[in-house]
Protein backbone atom coordinates (compact mmCIF):
# COMPACT_ATOMS: atom_id res chain seq x y z
CA UNK A 1 0.00 0.00 0.00
CA UNK A 2 1.35 3.39 -0.95
CA UNK A 3 2.13 5.81 1.89
CA UNK A 4 2.37 8.84 -0.41
CA UNK A 5 0.20 11.68 0.85
CA UNK A 6 -2.17 13.11 -1.77
CA UNK A 7 -1.29 16.59 -3.02
CA UNK A 8 -3.29 19.17 -1.05
CA UNK A 9 -5.80 21.07 -3.16
CA UNK A 10 -4.58 24.60 -3.72
CA UNK A 11 -7.23 27.26 -3.47
CA UNK A 12 -5.12 30.07 -4.90
CA UNK A 13 -3.00 30.37 -8.02
CA UNK A 14 -0.66 33.30 -8.57
CA UNK A 15 -1.48 35.57 -11.49
CA UNK A 16 -0.04 34.59 -14.85
CA UNK A 17 1.10 37.70 -16.73
CA UNK A 18 -1.20 38.54 -19.64
CA UNK A 19 -0.13 40.76 -22.54
CA UNK A 20 -3.23 41.66 -24.55
CA UNK A 21 -2.75 42.71 -28.16
CA UNK A 22 -4.32 45.95 -29.37
CA UNK A 23 -7.63 45.26 -31.07
CA UNK A 24 -9.93 47.43 -33.14
CA UNK A 25 -13.58 47.07 -33.97
CA UNK A 26 -17.10 48.06 -33.12
CA UNK A 27 -17.17 46.59 -29.63
CA UNK A 28 -13.74 47.97 -28.77
CA UNK A 29 -14.91 51.43 -29.90
CA UNK A 30 -18.05 51.02 -27.82
CA UNK A 31 -15.87 50.17 -24.85
CA UNK A 32 -13.82 53.37 -25.32
CA UNK A 33 -17.03 55.41 -25.44
CA UNK A 34 -18.39 53.77 -22.26
CA UNK A 35 -15.06 54.26 -20.53
CA UNK A 36 -15.05 57.97 -21.42
CA UNK A 37 -18.64 58.41 -20.22
CA UNK A 38 -18.24 56.50 -16.94
CA UNK A 39 -14.91 58.10 -16.02
CA UNK A 40 -16.24 61.51 -17.09
CA UNK A 41 -19.28 61.13 -14.83
CA UNK A 42 -17.15 59.98 -11.93
CA UNK A 43 -14.54 62.75 -12.13
CA UNK A 44 -16.79 65.66 -13.14
CA UNK A 45 -19.94 65.12 -11.05
CA UNK A 46 -18.65 66.61 -7.73
CA UNK A 47 -17.80 69.83 -9.58
CA UNK A 48 -21.32 70.43 -10.91
CA UNK A 49 -23.06 73.25 -9.07
CA UNK A 50 -26.79 73.35 -8.30
CA UNK A 51 -28.43 76.42 -6.79
CA UNK A 52 -30.64 75.45 -3.84
CA UNK A 53 -31.00 78.91 -2.38
CA UNK A 54 -29.27 80.67 0.53
CA UNK A 55 -27.79 78.57 3.31
CA UNK A 56 -27.93 75.37 1.29
CA UNK A 57 -24.98 73.58 -0.35
CA UNK A 58 -24.71 74.32 -4.05
CA UNK A 59 -23.07 71.03 -5.00
CA UNK A 60 -25.32 68.97 -7.30
CA UNK A 61 -24.36 65.59 -5.81
CA UNK A 62 -23.27 65.66 -2.20
CA UNK A 63 -23.25 63.18 0.66
CA UNK A 64 -23.52 65.61 3.56
CA UNK A 65 -22.49 63.28 6.39
CA UNK A 66 -22.25 66.04 9.00
CA UNK A 67 -25.93 66.94 8.52
CA UNK A 68 -27.03 63.41 7.57
CA UNK A 69 -28.41 64.43 4.16
CA UNK A 70 -27.84 63.29 0.61
CA UNK A 71 -28.30 65.76 -2.24
CA UNK A 72 -28.83 64.61 -5.79
CA UNK A 73 -29.59 67.62 -8.01
CA UNK A 74 -33.15 68.62 -7.07
CA UNK A 75 -33.64 65.66 -4.69
CA UNK A 76 -32.76 65.83 -1.00
CA UNK A 77 -32.87 62.57 0.95
CA UNK A 78 -32.83 62.31 4.74
CA UNK A 79 -32.01 59.11 6.68
CA UNK A 80 -35.71 58.30 7.30
CA UNK A 81 -36.26 58.47 3.50
CA UNK A 82 -33.52 56.02 2.73
CA UNK A 83 -36.07 53.62 1.29
CA UNK A 84 -35.83 55.75 -1.91
CA UNK A 85 -32.18 54.75 -2.21
CA UNK A 86 -32.99 51.14 -1.32
CA UNK A 87 -35.68 51.14 -4.03
CA UNK A 88 -33.22 52.58 -6.56
CA UNK A 89 -30.64 49.93 -5.64
CA UNK A 90 -33.24 47.16 -6.03
CA UNK A 91 -34.19 48.53 -9.47
CA UNK A 92 -30.51 48.75 -10.45
CA UNK A 93 -30.02 45.14 -9.31
CA UNK A 94 -33.00 43.94 -11.33
CA UNK A 95 -31.73 45.87 -14.37
CA UNK A 96 -28.35 44.21 -13.97
CA UNK A 97 -30.00 40.76 -13.82
CA UNK A 98 -32.04 41.55 -16.95
CA UNK A 99 -29.03 42.75 -18.95
CA UNK A 100 -26.99 39.75 -17.82
CA UNK A 101 -29.63 37.21 -18.77
CA UNK A 102 -30.05 38.80 -22.22
CA UNK A 103 -26.57 40.04 -23.08
CA UNK A 104 -24.25 38.03 -20.84
CA UNK A 105 -21.23 39.62 -19.18
CA UNK A 106 -21.90 43.20 -20.31
CA UNK A 107 -21.49 44.63 -16.83
CA UNK A 108 -18.11 42.93 -16.39
CA UNK A 109 -17.04 43.70 -19.93
CA UNK A 110 -17.97 47.36 -20.15
CA UNK A 111 -19.08 49.09 -16.98
CA UNK A 112 -17.62 47.52 -13.85
CA UNK A 113 -15.15 49.94 -12.20
CA UNK A 114 -12.57 47.16 -12.00
CA UNK A 115 -12.83 46.71 -15.77
CA UNK A 116 -12.84 50.42 -16.58
CA UNK A 117 -9.77 51.26 -14.50
CA UNK A 118 -7.90 48.11 -15.54
CA UNK A 119 -8.63 48.95 -19.17
CA UNK A 120 -7.31 52.47 -18.63
CA UNK A 121 -4.17 51.12 -16.96
CA UNK A 122 -3.65 48.67 -19.83
CA UNK A 123 -3.89 51.52 -22.31
CA UNK A 124 -1.32 53.54 -20.37
CA UNK A 125 0.88 50.43 -20.31
CA UNK A 126 0.56 50.16 -24.08
CA UNK A 127 1.48 53.83 -24.59
CA UNK A 128 4.62 53.42 -22.50
CA UNK A 129 5.74 49.82 -23.08
CA UNK A 130 4.40 49.28 -26.60
CA UNK A 131 2.03 46.62 -27.88
CA UNK A 132 2.01 42.96 -26.92
CA UNK A 133 5.33 41.83 -28.39
CA UNK A 134 7.23 44.79 -26.97
CA UNK A 135 5.63 44.17 -23.57
CA UNK A 136 6.70 40.51 -23.60
CA UNK A 137 10.27 41.49 -24.58
CA UNK A 138 10.40 44.10 -21.83
CA UNK A 139 9.00 41.65 -19.26
CA UNK A 140 11.75 39.13 -20.09
CA UNK A 141 14.49 41.74 -20.30
CA UNK A 142 16.98 42.27 -17.45
CA UNK A 143 16.59 45.32 -15.22
CA UNK A 144 18.75 47.73 -17.23
CA UNK A 145 18.39 51.53 -17.36
CA UNK A 146 15.73 51.43 -20.07
CA UNK A 147 13.52 48.95 -18.22
CA UNK A 148 13.83 50.92 -14.97
CA UNK A 149 12.88 54.14 -16.80
CA UNK A 150 9.86 52.57 -18.51
CA UNK A 151 8.66 50.89 -15.33
CA UNK A 152 9.04 54.15 -13.40
CA UNK A 153 7.06 56.04 -16.07
CA UNK A 154 4.30 53.44 -16.08
CA UNK A 155 3.96 53.10 -12.31
CA UNK A 156 4.04 56.87 -11.79
CA UNK A 157 1.32 57.29 -14.44
CA UNK A 158 -0.80 54.61 -12.75
CA UNK A 159 -0.17 56.27 -9.39
CA UNK A 160 -1.35 59.62 -10.73
CA UNK A 161 -4.57 58.08 -12.08
CA UNK A 162 -5.07 56.28 -8.77
CA UNK A 163 -4.51 59.52 -6.85
CA UNK A 164 -7.06 61.35 -9.01
CA UNK A 165 -9.49 58.48 -8.40
CA UNK A 166 -9.13 58.69 -4.64
CA UNK A 167 -9.20 62.47 -4.84
CA UNK A 168 -12.44 62.47 -6.83
CA UNK A 169 -14.09 60.13 -4.33
CA UNK A 170 -13.67 62.46 -1.31
CA UNK A 171 -15.16 65.38 -3.25
CA UNK A 172 -18.54 63.64 -3.10
CA UNK A 173 -18.51 64.11 0.69
CA UNK A 174 -17.71 67.81 1.00
CA UNK A 175 -17.86 71.00 -1.01
CA UNK A 176 -15.41 70.12 -3.79
CA UNK A 177 -13.70 73.52 -4.41
CA UNK A 178 -13.28 74.17 -0.67
CA UNK A 179 -11.95 70.68 0.01
CA UNK A 180 -9.60 70.93 -2.96
CA UNK A 181 -7.99 74.10 -1.56
CA UNK A 182 -7.86 72.58 1.94
CA UNK A 183 -6.11 69.50 0.56
CA UNK A 184 -3.55 71.65 -1.23
CA UNK A 185 -2.90 73.72 1.90
CA UNK A 186 -2.66 70.61 4.10
CA UNK A 187 -5.67 71.79 6.14
CA UNK A 188 -8.22 69.11 5.23
CA UNK A 189 -9.59 66.67 7.80
CA UNK A 190 -7.29 63.64 8.33
CA UNK A 191 -10.16 61.38 7.19
CA UNK A 192 -9.87 62.94 3.71
CA UNK A 193 -6.14 62.15 3.45
CA UNK A 194 -6.65 58.61 4.81
CA UNK A 195 -9.49 57.95 2.35
CA UNK A 196 -7.44 59.28 -0.58
CA UNK A 197 -4.48 57.12 0.49
CA UNK A 198 -6.62 53.97 0.72
CA UNK A 199 -8.38 54.63 -2.60
CA UNK A 200 -5.07 55.44 -4.30
CA UNK A 201 -3.41 52.27 -3.02
CA UNK A 202 -6.34 49.98 -3.92
CA UNK A 203 -6.79 51.50 -7.40
CA UNK A 204 -3.07 51.26 -8.10
CA UNK A 205 -2.85 47.65 -6.95
CA UNK A 206 -6.19 46.37 -8.31
CA UNK A 207 -5.89 48.01 -11.75
CA UNK A 208 -2.15 47.65 -12.20
CA UNK A 209 -1.24 44.30 -10.68
CA UNK A 210 -4.18 42.24 -9.43
CA UNK A 211 -6.50 42.77 -12.43
CA UNK A 212 -8.48 39.60 -13.16
CA UNK A 213 -7.42 38.08 -9.81
CA UNK A 214 -10.02 40.40 -8.28
CA UNK A 215 -12.69 38.83 -10.50
CA UNK A 216 -11.53 35.30 -9.73
CA UNK A 217 -10.96 35.56 -5.99
CA UNK A 218 -12.61 38.67 -4.56
CA UNK A 219 -15.75 39.57 -6.49
CA UNK A 220 -19.07 37.90 -5.62
CA UNK A 221 -20.69 38.75 -8.96
CA UNK A 222 -19.27 35.81 -11.04
CA UNK A 223 -20.77 33.42 -8.47
CA UNK A 224 -24.24 34.89 -9.12
CA UNK A 225 -23.81 35.70 -12.79
CA UNK A 226 -23.82 32.14 -14.10
CA UNK A 227 -27.27 31.59 -12.60
CA UNK A 228 -28.65 34.38 -14.84
CA UNK A 229 -27.55 32.77 -18.09
CA UNK A 230 -29.08 30.15 -20.31
CA UNK A 231 -28.49 28.91 -23.84
CA UNK A 232 -30.07 32.06 -25.34
CA UNK A 233 -27.77 34.46 -23.51
CA UNK A 234 -25.28 36.25 -25.73
CA UNK A 235 -21.81 35.53 -24.43
CA UNK A 236 -18.25 35.08 -25.57
CA UNK A 237 -17.12 31.63 -24.48
CA UNK A 238 -14.39 29.24 -25.44
CA UNK A 239 -15.58 26.11 -27.18
CA UNK A 240 -13.05 23.38 -26.97
CA UNK A 241 -14.40 21.52 -29.98
CA UNK A 242 -13.61 24.56 -32.17
CA UNK A 243 -10.25 25.53 -30.68
CA UNK A 244 -8.47 22.29 -29.79
CA UNK A 245 -6.04 20.86 -30.62
CA UNK A 246 -4.23 24.09 -31.39
CA UNK A 247 -1.77 24.52 -34.23
CA UNK A 248 -1.75 24.56 -37.98
CA UNK A 249 -4.08 22.29 -39.91
CA UNK A 250 -2.10 19.95 -42.10
CA UNK A 251 -3.12 19.06 -45.60
CA UNK A 252 -5.71 16.31 -45.62
CA UNK A 253 -6.62 16.82 -41.96
CA UNK A 254 -10.17 17.52 -40.91
CA UNK A 255 -10.78 21.22 -40.34
CA UNK A 256 -12.81 22.72 -37.56
CA UNK A 257 -15.74 23.20 -39.90
CA UNK A 258 -15.75 19.44 -40.48
CA UNK A 259 -16.42 18.83 -36.81
CA UNK A 260 -20.10 18.27 -36.21
CA UNK A 261 -21.66 21.14 -34.26
CA UNK A 262 -22.37 20.54 -30.62
CA UNK A 263 -26.03 20.75 -29.60
CA UNK A 264 -26.84 24.18 -28.15
CA UNK A 265 -27.71 22.92 -24.70
CA UNK A 266 -24.38 21.08 -24.44
CA UNK A 267 -22.33 23.95 -25.82
CA UNK A 268 -23.90 26.46 -23.48
CA UNK A 269 -22.77 24.53 -20.44
CA UNK A 270 -19.15 25.33 -21.23
CA UNK A 271 -19.11 28.76 -19.56
CA UNK A 272 -15.72 30.06 -18.71
CA UNK A 273 -14.82 30.03 -15.05
S1 LIG B 1 -16.11 39.78 -11.97
FE2 LIG B 1 -16.61 41.41 -10.51
S3 LIG B 1 -14.78 42.71 -10.43
FE4 LIG B 1 -14.62 41.42 -12.25
S5 LIG B 1 -15.44 42.66 -13.90
FE6 LIG B 1 -17.13 41.39 -13.13
S7 LIG B 1 -18.17 42.59 -11.58
FE8 LIG B 1 -16.19 43.55 -11.98
pLDDT in tens, the chain (273 residues): 556 777 788 889 999 999 999 999 999 999 999 999 999 999 999 999 999 999 899 999 999 999 999 999 999 999 999 888 899 999 999 999 999 998 988 999 999 999 999 999 999 999 999 999 999 999 999 999 999 999 999 999 999 999 999 889 999 999 999 999 999 999 999 999 999 999 999 999 999 999 999 999 999 998 888 888 888 888 877 878 777 877 777 776 665 555 555 555 444 444 443
Task: Compute the distance between CA of residue 104 and CA of residue 229 in angstroms, rounded to an integer.
Answer: 7
Q: pTM here? A: 0.84
Q: Which atom of ligand 1 is nearest to the CA of 219?
A: 2
Q: Distances from the Cα of 72 to the Cαs of 15, 53, 55, in angstroms?
A: 40, 15, 17
Q: Is 115 in the pocket of ligand 1 (CB under 6 A)?
A: yes
Phi, psi of 158 (to 5 degrees): -60, -40
Q: Is 214 in the pocket of ligand 1 (CB under 6 A)?
A: yes
Using the 8-state DSSP alphabet, how is residue 100 labeled?
A: H
Determine contact, residues 165/200, Cβ cutoff 8 Å.
yes
- Ligand 1, atom 4, lies closest to the CA of 215
Task: Compute the distance between CA of residue 117 and CA of residue 172 in angstroms, rounded to an integer.
Answer: 19
Task: Compute the distance between CA of residue 175 and CA of residue 197 in angstroms, rounded to an integer.
Answer: 19
Using the 8-state DSSP alphabet, how is residue 46 labeled?
A: G
CA 252–ligand 1 middle distance (angstroms):
44
Q: Is 112 in the pocket of ligand 1 (CB under 6 A)?
A: yes
Amino acid sequence: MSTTEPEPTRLYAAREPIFPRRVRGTFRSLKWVIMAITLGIYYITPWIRWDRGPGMPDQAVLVDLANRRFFFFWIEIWPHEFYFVAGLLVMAGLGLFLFTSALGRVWCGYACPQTVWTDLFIQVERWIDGDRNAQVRLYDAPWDARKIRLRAEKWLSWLLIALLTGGAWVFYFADAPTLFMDLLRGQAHPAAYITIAIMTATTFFFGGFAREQICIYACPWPRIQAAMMDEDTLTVAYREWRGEPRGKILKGEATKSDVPPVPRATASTAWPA
